[in-house]
């Protein structure tokens, strides 16, 4: 990628909804480095004042190699605003100062959404509708909106996936309601280090001496890091056509193999607890029905073309898949998985969480 292609955020006013979450914080850190251009403003928009407070403190006390760059950019352009994507008026107000929107606000825990389905609808669906509606009704000059979705939106079997599937459709159809704004999505699977995901859970269980709990020995998941997720978002901003959904090509593994790799031969038991409400055995990032609309995106990514002909436009590129894209396919063997995790989970490298 040449230098000219890496400056897509130069001088841009960027809004990150749900910016205090695991993904939001990594996304903001990456934006602050200026590697892809120095934004004029980054607005973290969320409803939790405590999380905003701790994020602000964290960014003021960097301990990374990019400390000075991040700190300077933080002082110059990072802004925190309290608000809720469910509230149309607060959404409309914050969008007035925005060129690019990263829509990361979500209710994402599968069991929580099962027990509170309407709350999931309000955040995941109504939140997206508020963004599209505000841009259209107030004729706001927003250039790009990126809806951040999940594998669970594909062939959804749980409320979280159902609401995310509708969120994708709200954004994609937004291209018809507001053609001057490019609405695109990204969709990816399990993120290794995000809050509430399986690897931090396993590490905590191992540190406590076990047992490590898995729901079924057949379960598989795609594996990518938060930085891989941000790479997917940035690739979509650079390359996705209106209405496209970008999907990374990432490795997958049996969850029981992930547990074994993290246990690393210690005398820690693995207990099978059974499937949780709404949980899938395998992650599917592209369904068989969607495979016929799937083309090559930027290198390392698939691009799912929009279903609506008014958004897709003329021409029908040849599909690159003939079946679904599932975590059950092309699994890493235990050796490959151990190497993969060792390069991406710092706790494995120093084994400090095991008291070694």
Bridge partners (DSSP) listed for residue 183: 145
Token digits for 26? 């990594």
pLDDT of residue 352: 44
Pairing of strands 212-214, 100-103: unpaired
Does residue 316 or residue 21 have the better pLDDT? 21
pLDDT of residue 134: 98
Mean pLDDT (the chain, rounded): 90
| Contact by Cβ (8 Å): 181, 137 | no
CA angle 328, 148, 227 (to 5 degrees): 75
Pairing of strands 212-214, 182-188: unpaired
Q: What is the pLDDT of residues 225-246, one digit of tens each?
A: 899 999 999 999 999 999 999 9
Which stretches of the chain are assigned E, i.e. beta strand?
Answer: 13-17, 41-46, 78-82, 100-103, 144-150, 182-188, 212-214, 220-222, 245-248, 252-254, 270-272, 284-286, 294-296, 301-304, 325-326
pLDDT band, residue 355 (cuts 50/70/90)? very low
C-alpha distances (whole Å) from 95 to each of 8, 168, 223, 260, 285 are: 19, 19, 33, 46, 30
Domain locations in the chain? 83-189+224-250+285-324
pTM of the model: 0.89
Q: Is the dihedral of CA 325, 328, 333, 336 positive or negative?
A: positive
Token digits for 351? 């084994």
Which residues contact residue 336 at a Cβ distance below 8 angstroms, ignoring those fewer than 6 apart?
A: 251
pLDDT of residue 350: 53
Q: Is the dihedral of CA 33, 49, 139, 149 positive or negative?
A: positive
Rounded distance between C-alpha atoms, residue 192 and residue 225, angstroms: 5
Rounded distance between C-alpha atoms, residue 116 and residue 122, angstroms: 10
Residues designated catalytic: 152
Q: What is the pLDDT of residues 27-70, one digit of tens each?
A: 999 999 899 999 999 999 999 999 999 998 888 776 555 555 55
pLDDT above 70: residue 349: no
Bridge partners (DSSP) listed for residue 301: 248
Burial class (CB in 10 A: 0-12, 13-18, 19+), 5: exposed
Closest CA to 151 of 285, 321, 291, 326: 285
pLDDT of residue 70: 59
CATH superfamily of 83-189+224-250+285-324: NAD(P)-binding Rossmann-like Domain (3.40.50.720)
Rounded distance between C-alpha atoms, residue 199 and residue 50, angstroms: 25
Distance in angstroms between the alpha carbons of the first and the last residue of the chain: 41
CA torsion 13-14-20-23 (nearest 10°) is -150
The H or E element that residue 86 is part of is none
Please, what is the angle between helix 159-177 and helix 127-137, to 10°?
A: 10
């Amino acid at each position: 990628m040449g230098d000219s292609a890496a400056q897509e955020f130069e001088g841009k006013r960027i809004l990150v909804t749900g910016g205090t979450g695991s993904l939001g914080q990594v996304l903001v850190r990456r934006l602050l480095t200026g590697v892809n251009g120095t934004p004029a403003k980054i607005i973290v928009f969320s409803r939790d004042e405590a999380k905003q407070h701790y994020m602000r403190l964290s960014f003021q006390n960097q301990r990374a190699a990019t400390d000075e760059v991040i700190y300077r950019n933080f002082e110059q352009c990072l802004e925190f605003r309290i608000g809720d994507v469910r509230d149309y008026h607060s959404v409309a107000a914050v969008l007035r100062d925005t060129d690019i929107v990263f829509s990361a606000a979500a209710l994402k825990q599968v069991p929580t959404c099962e027990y509170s389905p309407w709350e999931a609808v309000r955040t995941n669906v109504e939140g997206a509708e508020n963004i599209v509606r505000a841009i259209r009704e107030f004729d706001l000059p927003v250039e790009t909106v990126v809806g951040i979705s999940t594998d669970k939106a594909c062939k959804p079997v749980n409320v979280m996936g159902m609401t995310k599937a509708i969120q994708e459709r709200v954004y994609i159809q937004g291209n018809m309601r507001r053609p001057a704004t490019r609405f695109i999505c990204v969709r990816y699977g399990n993120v290794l280090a995000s809050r509430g995901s399986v690897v931090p859970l396993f590490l905590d269980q191992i540190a406590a001496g076990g047992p490590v709990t898995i729901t079924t020995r057949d379960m598989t998941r795609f594996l990518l890091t938060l930085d891989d997720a941000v790479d997917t978002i940035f690739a979509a901003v650079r390359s996705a056509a209106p209405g496209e959904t970008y999907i990374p090509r990432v490795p997958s593994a049996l969850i029981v193999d992930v547990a074994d790799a993290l246990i690393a031969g210690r005398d820690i038991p693995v207990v099978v607890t059974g499937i949780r409400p709404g949980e899938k055995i395998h992650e599917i990032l592209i369904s068989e029905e969607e495979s016929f609309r799937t083309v090559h995106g930027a290198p390392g990514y698939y691009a799912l073309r929009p279903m609506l002909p008014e958004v897709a436009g003329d021409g029908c590129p040849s599909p690159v898949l003939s079946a679904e894209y599932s975590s059950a396919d092309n699994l890493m063997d235990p050796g490959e998985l151990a190497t993969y995790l060792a390069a991406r989970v710092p706790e494995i490298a120093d084994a400090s969480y095991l008291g070694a």
